Amino acid sequence: MESNEVLDKLPRHLMGLIIDQPYFSYTALDHAIWRYVMRRNIKHLSKVAHGSYLEGLRRTGISIDAIPHMYGMNRILREIGWAAVAVDGFIPPSAFMEFQAYKVLVIAVDIRPLDQIEYTPAPDIIHEAAGHAPIIADPEYADYLRFFGEIGSKAFSSARDYELYEAIRHLSILKADPYTPKSDIDEAEIRLAELDRNMGQPSEMAMIRNLHWWTVEYGLIGNLDNFKIYGAGLLSSIGESMNCMKPVVKKLPYSIDAVNYGFDITTQQPQLFVTPDFKHLNSVLNEFANKMALREGGSIAVHRAEGSGNTATVELSSGLQISGTFKDCIYNDRDVIYLKTVGPTSLCAGNRELPMHSKRFHAHGFGSPVGRLQAGGFSLQTMSEGELDDAGFQPGVRQQLVFESGVQVSGIFDYVRTHKGKNILFSFTDCTVTYKGEILFRPDWGKYDMAVGEEVVSAYQGPADADAFGFNFEAPAERTHKIVYNVSDLKRHSMYQQLRDARSGKEELSDTEGFFRQIIAEFPMEWLLLLELHDFLKSRKDATGLVNKVATQLESIRASSPGLSSVVSDGLVLCGNNN
């Protein structure tokens, strides 16, 4: 991967998802698929896409005739403050969002097979490079994309969310492989439908993914009667970019209600949302973020941290951040009064792990009261050094702390740790912690580190200091299928390559009649190869009449194969416009 200043800022825990783009593995057929989709899209999208799309193609260095190389894209994206990395198909949603937060596009480097040229359920380089990249040339939209990543990467997922992600990824991999048995696809679809029916209460990630889908992927901009396309899923899908303009696809004004609309990646969407402008997207996202644990805090935030069942961070009003797996926290009515984690836990401030408070130090979990002291109205987090000394917080002196919640801490004071003028952690020896007669900490368990904070102000998924925590996004265990080509496939590819070389002037295709006869003899239904030949002949001002024979064969395919009618017809229009 060729680095730049944007990529240099990526955290290490994302690096395991990045792969090298296998550029020289793309076949001439792959390049022909790219060329067909781009030419057809540009012809159509010039009329229906947001005004910045075509300019964005130019600014991001995306060619019509060849699949883009990541190195070239990064050199140009750097000029608008973004970058791109190659990944293998779907990656976990939280990782996808975090890449966006760092202004990095993730590009699935596979390309759709010929039989999915109009729509593919799997992310591919057409969707990512030709859909996402051009529109970020618009500064206002690019800022929304970055902001979405920043918020989305903090959203809590449930254990079932990850199961659903794996099921979606598995199905997309199967569908993108032309050799997958139908029974395997049917089984994967049944599994996905079963999971979807039994997801329970939607998590923050499930809801924010809906907002992402209906804006970044499938968004329209304007008003209900006059709108343009800006969503990457529409910009990269021939079929849906045309279908979405029809009345049969319901158009709704974009609002926070979009969180309640799920989506199916395997089919075209029954409704789409229209935003009046890109600024409105940020307003809706802020409205949603205000209801997230990230901003709401309190017991709701802790409940969501517990419900995730995974590493989470809870931040207190003092600035202390506790990162671990939260479980069995204690609540009093609606308030959280005692935080508990199980397993390795780290303590941080300002997203940096505190010395001597790593996962190894708190290997078996962490617990601490939250709130104010009962007597005197002391605010432990704001007391000065002199006030602490006057209150008896001196090394070697036993303290009896009674919180308003009823939690009691009795121990010999050792030291206090501060951050940005606030006390964040008190340490005790020979300490006992109780609540309603239940022992929460015993002296023989060792030193007791008590978090200081009157309330929980935030909670979000993942650790505060990912590097120190040793957190990493691992590459998915199931890889996308690399197709093994047979002798017939290789022969087809070589013929596509011959045309490609002839069009570029690299080689000469002298016997075009013989080439056409070979297609008819060996690959009579290979419509895209015939279109490539038709286009080549038109560009060379064919005077032999061969171009008419090619057109006749294409018309025959169109008439005998209804499923190919639109792609062939539109391809012929493209060729006709190439005079």
DSSP line for 497-552: HHHHHHHHTSS----HHHHHHHHHHH-TT-HHHHHHHHHHHHHTT--SSHHHHHHH
Inform me whether the pLDDT recorded for 496 exceeds 90: yes
CA–CA separation, 361 vs 125, rounded Å? Answer: 45
The phi, psi pair for 540, rounded to 5°, reads: -95, 10
pLDDT at 115: 87
CA–CA separation, 243 vs 238, rounded Å? Answer: 9
pLDDT band (50, 70, 90) for residue 1: low
Inform me whether the pLDDT recorded for 182 exceeds 50: yes
- Tell me how crowded residue 131 is: count the other CB atoms within 10 A of its CB: 26
pLDDT at 3: 67
Q: What is the DSSP string of 139-192?
A: HHHHHHHHHHHHHHTT----HHHHHHHHHHHHHHHHHH-TT--HHHHHHHHHHH
Inform me whether the pLDDT recorded for 355 exceeds 80: yes
The pLDDT of 343-353, averaged and rounded, is 97
Inform me whether the pLDDT recorded for 135 exceeds 90: no
Give CA separation, 553 vs 10, 109, 311, 504, 544, in Å.
Answer: 52, 33, 60, 25, 16
Q: What is the DSSP string of 2-42?
A: ---TTGGG--GGGGGG-B---GGG--HHHHHHHHHHHHHHH
CA–CA separation, 67 vs 59, rounded Å? Answer: 16
Residue indicated by tokens 């698929």: 33
34 exposed, middle or buried (CB, 10 Å; 0-12, 13-18, 19+)? buried
Lowest pLDDT segment from 67-76, 85-94, 178-187, 569-578: 569-578
Q: Return the DSSP state at 476.
A: P
pLDDT at 215: 97
| 3-state class (DSSP) for residue 253 | strand
CA–CA separation, 336 vs 302, rounded Å? Answer: 7
Write the single-letter amino acid at 430: D
Q: Provide the token pair at 113.
A: 């097979």
Q: Which of 44, 38, 211 is nearest to 127 (CA)?
A: 38
Inform me whether the pLDDT recorded for 189 exceeds 50: yes
Q: SS3 breakdown of the chain: % helix, strand, coil, rounded to 5?
A: 45, 20, 35
Length of the chain: 579
pLDDT at 377: 63
* 335-349 vs 352-353, strand pairing mode: antiparallel
CA–CA separation, 177 vs 89, rounded Å? Answer: 12
User: Angle at CA 332, nearest 5°, toward 329 and 337?
Assistant: 50
What percent of the chain stands above pLDDT 70? 98
Q: Which of 290, 261, 283, 285 is nearest to 273 (CA)?
A: 261
Sign of CA dihedral 373, 375, 381, 385: negative
Inform me whether the pLDDT recorded for 474 exceeds 90: no
Inform me whether the pLDDT recorded for 513 exceeds 70: yes
Inform me whether the pLDDT recorded for 263 exceeds 90: no
CB 515 within 8 A of CB 523: no
The pLDDT of 471-477, averaged and rounded, is 89
Whole-angstrom Cα Rg for the chain: 29
Inform me whether the pLDDT recorded for 439 exceeds 90: yes
CA–CA separation, 205 vs 94, rounded Å? Answer: 8
CB 458 within 8 A of CB 298: no
- Tell me how crowded residue 578 is: count the other CB atoms within 10 A of its CB: 12
- Domain 300-469, CATH: 2.30.30.100
CB 503 within 8 A of CB 44: no
The pLDDT of 515-540, averaged and rounded, is 94
pLDDT band (50, 70, 90) for residue 368: very high
* 250-253 vs 271-275, strand pairing mode: parallel
Write the single-letter amino acid at 63: S
pLDDT band (50, 70, 90) for residue 341: very high
pLDDT at 577: 42
Please indicate whether residue 433 or residue 504 has the higher confidence score (pLDDT): 433
- Tell me how crowded residue 443 is: count the other CB atoms within 10 A of its CB: 15
| 3-state class (DSSP) for residue 235 | helix
Q: Return the DSSP state at 292.
A: S
Evaluate whether the domain defined by 7-207 bears CATH number 1.10.800.10. yes
pLDDT at 502: 94
pLDDT tens by residue, 197-226: 888 888 999 999 999 999 999 999 999 999
Q: Domain ranges in the chain?
A: 7-207, 300-469, 487-576
CA–CA separation, 216 vs 148, rounded Å? Answer: 9
The pLDDT of 363-384, averaged and rounded, is 89
pLDDT at 2: 62
Inform me whether the pLDDT recorded for 470 exceeds 60: yes
CA–CA separation, 220 vs 235, rounded Å? Answer: 10
pLDDT tens by residue, 268-295: 789 999 999 999 999 999 999 999 999 9
Inform me whether the pLDDT recorded for 539 exceeds 90: no
pLDDT at 242: 85
Q: Give the dihedral of Cα atoms 269, 274, 275, 278; nearest 10 deg.
A: 60
pLDDT at 201: 85
pLDDT band (50, 70, 90) for residue 579: very low
pLDDT tens by residue, 387-401: 999 888 999 999 999
Average pLDDT score, the chain: 91
pLDDT at 283: 97
- Tell me how crowded residue 71 is: count the other CB atoms within 10 A of its CB: 12
Please indicate whether residue 71 or residue 436 has the higher confidence score (pLDDT): 436
pLDDT tens by residue, 75-132: 888 888 999 999 998 899 999 999 999 999 999 999 988 988 887 777 889 888 888 8
Inform me whether the pLDDT recorded for 375 exceeds 80: no
Write the single-letter amino acid at 462: G
pLDDT tens by residue, 289-315: 999 999 999 999 999 999 999 999 999
